[in-house]
Amino acid sequence: MGRVGLAVAMGCAAATCSIAAVLVGRRVKSWRRWGRAVGVLREFEEGCATPIGRLRQVVDAMVVEMHAGLASDGGSKLKMLLTFVDRLPDGKEEGIYYAIDLGGANVRVLRVQLGGKRSMILGHEGESNPVPRNLLTNSTVELFDLVAMTLKHFVEKDENGHKLVVEKTKELGFTFSFPVKQKSVSSGVLIKWTKGLFIEDTVGRDVTQCLEEALARRGLNMRVTVLVNDTVGALALGHYYDKDTVAAVIIGAGTNACYVERTDAIIKCQGLLTNSGGMVINMEWGNFWSSHLPRTPYDIALDDESQNRNEQGFEKLISGMYLGDVARRVLYKMALESDVFGDAIGGLSTPFALSTPMMAAMHEDESPDLREVARILEETMQVLVPLKTRKLVVRVCDIVTRRAARLAAAGIVGILKKMGRDGSGGAPTGRTKSKTRRSVVAVEGGLYAGYTLFREYLNEAIREILGEQVSRNVVLRITEDGSGQRLNRDSCRQSQTVRIVAGLETFSNIDCAFVLQVIFLYY
Ligand code: BGC
């Protein structure tokens, strides 16, 4: 090789080396960026960890707070509200009843015919209408007028759609799924709004009165005979079908639980007498807080930016209103720290752009190329991502959901423990053996009923905390939707047939839990 040839060869080698160096450099940079995205994921995963030890701490904290909330008003973030419901339906009720449900973005009305003698529900029909967004924050009068109008249209039509003249005063059950300090079984004052409703002038007012005034304005001859929280409706439905039902939990857009407490344990209301010696307590557990709850910077930011800062802490970790947004916040951070979402941040920066049903759909995408994940990210976030990134997205959804489900499980075990039904031997009455008692918990809401992975994580955690033997006596039964917050309609339809899901029974036949609250009209 002559000099020229040598020079050319050396030149080529140098060029090849520099191209290779550029490529290697790019690859290294890309690895680093990928590494940063994975780092965000790892850090989030650590922050969300719910090992068994931590779950047990949450169980105990729940029990402590329950005691504190029963001891005095304001004694705990758990309000432990009296419901004045001291008897649960047993299937002997009969007649036609009307009910109305206001629990969030929908208002629902219902007429139900009960057959008595355990012939159960003979028939029911209902209507559900969305509450226009502006009414969620406008004024009390506008919101309750909408409720009254919806009811008026419904009541004035008979089962065949003919118009009726309503002469006699009709009695009405009112399911109102917000924290209310009840004065009686049919009246109560709104403590605060949750789940995106914020109408200042309703706080501190009697919601029964607000509804009755609206009914009168619309010329409707109806009187609210019973006012209940949706959890109480779910408990009633559970008890209607299964007398071992001792508690109810809602995990939908919002979350809450109620259970039957002995009146002598309700210290803040000494001298309270009921025929049964017990009363249903609306825990308002969405507001539960404990330093043992795993909270990440994403949760703190979500809370800081929310309309109800420092409120509903448990709800913000486990309910459908918030889970999608926690996941979105993590994905946004990944997009900022790395290039895994390409150059376009798209909708990732928009609060609540990723709803929980979408998050659930991505999480449960079983296609090999994660097609559903790609579709949702493209349609809702306007981001196109490779398969590798889609897998990362699914991991984020999994972490958010697993933490939520396990914390909800710890909450449920907390209630069972307070009732002496967790197998630890602390039966409060001493009359029955806690070890052998069957305890049914009615569970309602889209997250549990319509999101298989959530349900599986929750059930698994219950077994983990209680152990195989005790958990055999604990039955979680899905009640039908009482709050209108199902994840999707298909899951609602599906749940109308009795299913056995991982050893869990479901209630059957009707698609509205809140029908059962009307049975309290018998009081
Ligand atoms: C409300 C509860 C309600 C729960 C489920 C929460 O945001 O505070 O009253 O039971 O949502 O609907």
Query: Whose alpha carbon is nearest atom 3 of ligand 1?
Result: 177
Domain coverage including residue 154: 84-228
Highest mean pLDDT among 118-127, 213-222, 293-302: 293-302
Asked whether 179 lines ligand 1 (CB < 6 A), one says yes
Ligand 1 centroid to Cα of residue 192, in Å, is 11
Choice between 370 and 115, residue whose per-residue pLDDT is larger:
370
pLDDT for 161-211, tens place per residue?
555 555 566 778 899 999 999 988 899 999 999 998 999 999 999 999 999
Asked whether 229 lines ligand 1 (CB < 6 A), one says yes
pLDDT for 260-275, tens place per residue?
999 999 999 887 777 7
> Is residue 432 domain-resident?
no
Query: Whose alpha carbon is nearest atom 11 of ligand 1?
Result: 254
Query: Whose alpha carbon is nearest atom 7 of ligand 1?
Result: 254
Continuous segment of H or E residues that includes residue 293: none
Q: Poorest-confidence range of 127-141, 433-447, 494-508?
A: 494-508
pLDDT for 210-248, tens place per residue?
999 999 999 988 889 889 999 998 898 888 788 899 999
Q: Determine the pLDDT at residue 2.
A: 65
β-pair type (180-184, 106-115): unpaired
Confidence of residue 456 (pLDDT cuts 50, 70, 90): very high
Instruction: Report which ligand 1 atom has the smallest distance to the Cα of 230.
Output: 10
Angle between helices 207-217 and 140-155 (to 10 degrees): 60
Closest CA to 483 of 456, 511, 504: 511
Cα–Cα distance for residue pair 300/333, rounded to 1 Å:
14
- The CATH number given to whatever domain includes residue 293 is 3.40.367.20
Domain end point (choices 203, 228, 253) = 228
Query: Whose alpha carbon is nearest atom 9 of ligand 1?
Result: 178
Count how many domains the chain has: 2
- The CATH number given to whatever domain includes residue 93 is 3.30.420.40
Whole-model pTM? 0.86
Instruction: Report which ligand 1 atom has the smallest distance to the Cα of 103.
Output: 12
> Is residue 18 domain-resident?
no
Q: Poorest-confidence range of 39-53, 144-158, 421-435?
A: 421-435
Query: Whose alpha carbon is nearest atom 8 of ligand 1?
Result: 178
Q: Determine the pLDDT at residue 489.
A: 30
The share of the chain scoring above pLDDT 90, in percent, equals 58
Q: Determine the pLDDT at residue 281.
A: 96
Same-domain pairing of 464 and 328: yes
Query: Whose alpha carbon is nearest atom 1 of ligand 1?
Result: 178
Same-domain pairing of 204 and 215: yes
Instruction: Report which ligand 1 atom has the smallest distance to the Cα of 231.
Output: 10
Burial grade of 241 (CB within 10 A; 0-12, 13-18, 19 or more): buried
pLDDT for 481-503, tens place per residue?
433 333 333 332 222 222 222 22
> Mean per-residue pLDDT for 68-95?
83
Ligand 1 centroid to Cα of residue 229, in Å, is 8
Ligand 1, from 195, 319, 447: best to mutate by most atoms within 8 Å of Cβ? 195
The share of the chain scoring above pLDDT 70, in percent, equals 77
Asked whether 178 lines ligand 1 (CB < 6 A), one says yes
> Mean per-residue pLDDT for 34-56?
96
Ligand 1 centroid to Cα of residue 194, in Å, is 7
Cα–Cα distance for residue pair 322/328, rounded to 1 Å:
10
* Rg from Cα positions in the chain: 27
Cα–Cα distance for residue pair 484/439, rounded to 1 Å:
26
Instruction: Assess whether pLDDT exceeds 60 at residue 505.
Output: no
Q: Which residues of 212-227 are buried (b: 16+ CB within 10 A; e: fewer)?
A: bbbbeebebebebbbb
Instruction: Assess whether pLDDT exceeds 70 at residue 21.
Output: no
CB 458 within 8 A of CB 409: yes
> Is residue 152 domain-resident?
yes
Instruction: Report which ligand 1 atom has the smallest distance to the Cα of 180.
Output: 9
Closest CA to 446 of 243, 237, 230: 230
> Is residue 78 domain-resident?
yes
Asked whether 484 lines ligand 1 (CB < 6 A), one says no
Q: Write the CB contacts of 319 (distance below 8 Å, at least 6 apart in sequence).
A: 251, 252, 253, 254, 255, 286, 404, 447
Instruction: Assess whether pLDDT exceeds 80 at residue 86.
Output: no
